[in-house]
Structure 1
Amino acid sequence: MANENLESKRWLIAGAAVIIQLCLGTVYAWSVFKMPLMKMHGWDGKTVQYTFMILMGILGLAAAFGGTLVDKKGPRFVATIGGILFGIGTLVAGYADQIGSITLLYLGFGVICALGNGFGYVTPIATLIRWFPDKRGLVTGLAVMGFGAGAFFMGKIAPVMIKAFQQIDPTGKIISSGVSTTWYIWGVIFLVLVTGSAQLFKNPPKGWLPAGFKPAATTVSAADSFTLGEAVKTPQWWMLWSMLCLNVSAGLGLISQHSPLAQDIYKKTMGLTGDLTPEQVAIVAAAGGAVVAYAAIFNGLGRLFWAKISDNIGRKMVFLIMFATQAVLYVLVAKGFIATYWPFIFASCYLLACYGGGFATMPAFAADSFGPANIGKVYGFMLTAWSVAGIVGPFAFEAFKPQALMIAAGLLTIGFCITLVYKAPKGKKS
C-alpha cells in the first residue's frame, strides 16, 4: 500500500513540475513585449534586447546555484523561492513599463526573473530524476516540454492582452502600452501557480525504488553517486558540458535570427524584391512569425520525443543522431539546397526539436553517468553551459551572418565527435 501511495505521489509531483515549467518557459516569448515597449518609450531595439541578454546570462548561473541549494535545502524550499522571485520580477518589470525605466526593466525581467527562473528550472528536474529512476528520460522530457510550451502559449495570449489593455488618447498617442497590466496579471498568476505547485515537492524516501525496477548495470546508483567536486574532476563531466553548450549555441543562434531568416526565404520563394507595399510587409512578417510559432511547438514536442527515445536507445545514441542530422540540415540550408518556404519550415521544426531534445536528454545522461544523489548540483552546475551558449550562439549568428549557418554546422560536428568518444566514468576513485 505504501508503495502504491508513493507511485501516485510521484506522478502528482510530475504534474506540478509541468505547471512550474510552463510558467517559467514564458520568458521565451520575450519578443512579443519588445516592440510595444519600444513604441511606448522610444527605446531602440538594442537597448531593449539587453533585457533578454541579461536574463539568459544570469539564468544558467542561477540554475547552477539553485542546484546546490536543492541538495542542501530540499526541492520545496528552492522551488518556492524561485516562484516568489519569478513572480516579483514580473511585477517589477510591469512597474518598469509603467514609469518608463529601462534600468528597472533590466532589474525586474533581466535579473530577478532570471534568478527565479534558474531556481525553478533545475528543481523539478533534480526532483523527478530521483522519483523516476525507471523513466528518467520520459519525465524530464515531460517537464522541460512544459518549458518549451510556455513560450508558445504566452506568445499567443500576451499579444491579445497587450492590445486589450493598451490605452490611446484621441490624438492617437499611446498613453499605456498594455504591457504593464499584462505583466501585473501574470506576475500574480506566477506567484500563485509556481509557489503553489512547489508545495508538492519532496524527495523520495532514502533507498526507495519503484516496484519491480532494477537499475541497469551501466548506470550509477544513489549510493555510488559522485559529488559535484568529484564529477567536475572527470573529463566526462566536461564532455557533457561541452555537448550541451554546443547544441544550445546552435539552437539559440537560430532562434535569435529565426524570423528575419524565415522572412528572407519567404520573399525569395514568392519572388518579392525591392520595396514592398505595407500589405506585403505585413504578409512577410506574418510568414516569419508562423515559422517561429511552428518551430516553438516542436521545441516542446522534441523535448518529450527525444527524452523518451533515449530511455530505449540510450542517451549517447540520441545525441549522435541529433548532432549529425542537425549539422547536415544547417549545411543544406547554408548551401541553398533548402531555399524555399515550406522545406525551411520543416527544417526549422526539426532543428528546434533537437535543440529542445538536448535540454531534455542531458539531465538523464548526467544522472546515468554520475548518479542521482547529487544531481541537483552536478546538473545544475552543468547549466552554466546555457549561459555561455546564450552569448556564443546569438553573437555568432549576428557577427558572422553570411557564414552563421556553416558555423552552426561546425559546432554540431564538434559535438558529434565528442559524443562519439564519450564513455561513462567507470567509478569513483577512493
Structure 2
Amino acid sequence: MSRLSCERKRWFIAGAAFFMQLCLGTVYAWSVFKKPMMEAHLWTETQTQFSFMIYNTVFALAVAFGGTLVDRKGPRLVGLIGGILFGSGLMLTGFANQIQSLGLLYVSFGCITGLGGGLGYITPVITLIRWFPDKRGLVTGLAIMGYGFGAFVLGNIAPRLILDAGIITTFHLWGGVSLVLVLIAVMFMRNPLPAWLPAGFVPQLGKISSSEDSFTFGRALRTPKFWNLWIIFFLSLTAGLGLISQLSPLTQDVMVSGFGGTPSEEQLRDIIIASGFIVALAGIFNGIGRLAWAWISDTLGRKPVFILIFTIQAAGFILLAHAGHIITFSILAFLVLACYGGSLASMPAFAADEFGPLHIGKIYGVIFTACAAAGFVGAFFFAFIKDVTSRFEPALYVASGFLLLGLFLTIIYRNPVSEN
C-alpha cells in the first residue's frame, strides 16, 4: 500500500470511528430511561441505578480485555463481536422491562450491553492511536467526541418516544438500529503496517512514537507512574459518571423547585421532555470537550490539560450544589461534562506518549479499568446519598473532593520516559 493511499485511508477510518462511537455513546442518555422504569415497575432509585453500575463496570473490564484482543486479533473481529452484543443486549433489555425482571435487566443492560459497549469502544481508539502518531490527541478526541454526541441523539428522541410508544418499544428500536449501524462502521477498521509512520512525521522528545521504543506490558505495569495514571483517571471519571447517571432527575428537581408549588400533569410532561433536551445538550458539550481538550493537549501537553480539567471540575461541582435556576444549573453541568469528556479523550494519548504504541491496547486497557471502579463508585454514591438524604447536594460536594485529590496527584506526576 502506497504512503499516499495510507494517508487517505486513515481519515476514512477516523470517520468510521466517529460514527461507531456515536452509536455506542447513546448509553449516556441512560438517565432519561431510569425514572420511567422506576415509575412503571415501582423499582427504587438504587435498584434501578444498579444496572448502570454493572454496565460501567463490565464496560471498563471489556475495554481492558478488548485492548488485548485488538492487539492479538485485530480491530475488525473485536468490533464485530462488540456491535452484536451491544445491540442484542439493548433489545433484551426491552424484554426485561416487558416481564418486569430486575435480574434480567442487570444481565441484559448491565452485562451484555456493557460487554458489547466496551469491546466496541476500545476498537476505534486503539486503531486510531496507531494510524495517527502525529495527531494522537486530536484524532482520538474526534472519535471519542462521537461517543459524547450519542447522548444528544438519543436524549432528543427517547423522551418523546417513551411517552408515545412506551419504554419497551424504545429499547427494541434502540438496540436494532445500533446493531446495524455499528456493524457497518466496523467494516472500515484495520491496523496499519507495524513500521508505518506518516510522511514528514518527526517524533517529539519525551514521547514514544515508534514500536521499537515502546514499553512492554510487564515493564509498564512495574512503573509506579502507571498506577498514578490509573488513580488520576479513576478520580477524573468518578464525579462525571455520577453526574451523568443522575442528570435527568437532577434537572427535573431543579425545574420542579422553580415552580414554587406542585406542577400539573401537563407541566410534568413538559419537564420530562425538557430534561431530556438538557441531557441531549450535555452530550454535545461532553463530545465537544473530548475533541477540544484532546486537541489542546497536543500543544499544551497532557499533564497541564489534566490540571486545568481537575481545577474547573472541582469548582464546578461546588457551584452546581448551589445552582437554583435551570439556566445556571445547565451551564455548569455542560462545563463539568465537557471537562469529563476531555479527560476521557486525553488519557489514551497520555498513555501512548508515556509507554509507546506497540502494546498500547493492553496497557491502556488496564488503565481503563479505572472506569469500572469509577462507574460503580460514582453511580452508587450519587444514588445512595439521594436515597438517604433525599437531596443531591451532598453527593456534589463529595464529587468535588474526589477531583481535588486528582488535582494534587496530577501536579506531582512525573514523566517515566524522561526518567529513563
Normalised to the residue count of structure 2, the TM-score between the two structures is 0.90
Structure-1 separation of matches of 2:101 and 2:304 = 48
Task: Establish whether residue 405 from structure 1 lines up as the match of residue 396 from structure 2.
Answer: yes
Task: Establish whether residue 149 from structure 1 lines up as the match of residue 149 from structure 2.
Answer: yes
Deviation at 1:427?
7.0
1:286-365 mapped onto 2 (5 Å cutoff)? 288-334=275-321, 336=322, 338-365=323-350
Q: Which residue of 2 aligns with 1:369?
A: 354
Deviates more, 1:398-407 or 1:225-234: 398-407
Structure-2 separation of matches of 1:275 and 1:33 = 23
- Per-residue CA distance 1:1-50 (angstroms, 9 max, x = gap): 81110011111111111121111111222233334444554544443332
- Per-residue CA distance 1:71-94 (angstroms, 9 max, x = gap): 111111111111121122123223
1:104-253 mapped onto 2 (5 Å cutoff)? 104-164=104-164, 166=165, 177=166, 179-220=167-208, 221-253=210-242
Task: Establish whether residue 379 from structure 1 lines up as the match of residue 399 from structure 2.
Answer: no
Q: Which residue of 1 aligns with 2:388?
A: none
- CA spacing shift, 1:404–1:189, aligned 2, 3 Å: closer
- CA spacing shift, 1:161–1:293, aligned 2, 3 Å: closer
- CA spacing shift, 1:375–1:409, aligned 2, 3 Å: same
- Per-residue CA distance 1:38-70 (angstroms, 9 max, x = gap): 455454444333222221121111111111111
Max Rg structure: 1
Structure 1, unmatched stretches of 5+, are: 167-176
Residues paired across the two proteins, number? 413
Q: Say if 1:56 and 1:390, in contact at 8 Å, map to a contact too.
A: yes
Deviates more, 1:30-39 or 1:310-319: 30-39
- Per-residue CA distance 1:130-178 (angstroms, 9 max, x = gap): 00011111111111111111122012223344445x3xxxxxxxxxx3x
Structure-2 separation of matches of 1:405 and 1:419 = 21
Amino acid at match of 1:380: G
- CA spacing shift, 1:345–1:284, aligned 2, 3 Å: same
Amino acid at match of 1:373: L
- Per-residue CA distance 1:161-204 (angstroms, 9 max, x = gap): 4445x3xxxxxxxxxx3x33333333333332222321221111
Structure-2 separation of matches of 1:105 and 1:302 = 31
Deviates more, 1:106-115 or 1:116-125: 106-115
Q: CA RMSD in A?
A: 2.4
- Per-residue CA distance 1:296-317 (angstroms, 9 max, x = gap): 2201111111111111111111
Q: Say if 1:226 and 1:428, in contact at 8 Å, map to a contact too.
A: no
Q: Say if 1:291 and 1:348, in contact at 8 Å, map to a contact too.
A: no
Normalised to the residue count of structure 1, the TM-score between the two structures is 0.88
Q: Say if 1:302 and 1:353, in contact at 8 Å, map to a contact too.
A: yes
Q: What's the % identity of the aligned pairs?
A: 52
Amino acid at match of 1:298: F
- Per-residue CA distance 1:213-238 (angstroms, 9 max, x = gap): 11111101321111222212111111
SS in 2 for 1:30: helix
- CA spacing shift, 1:285–1:84, aligned 2, 3 Å: closer
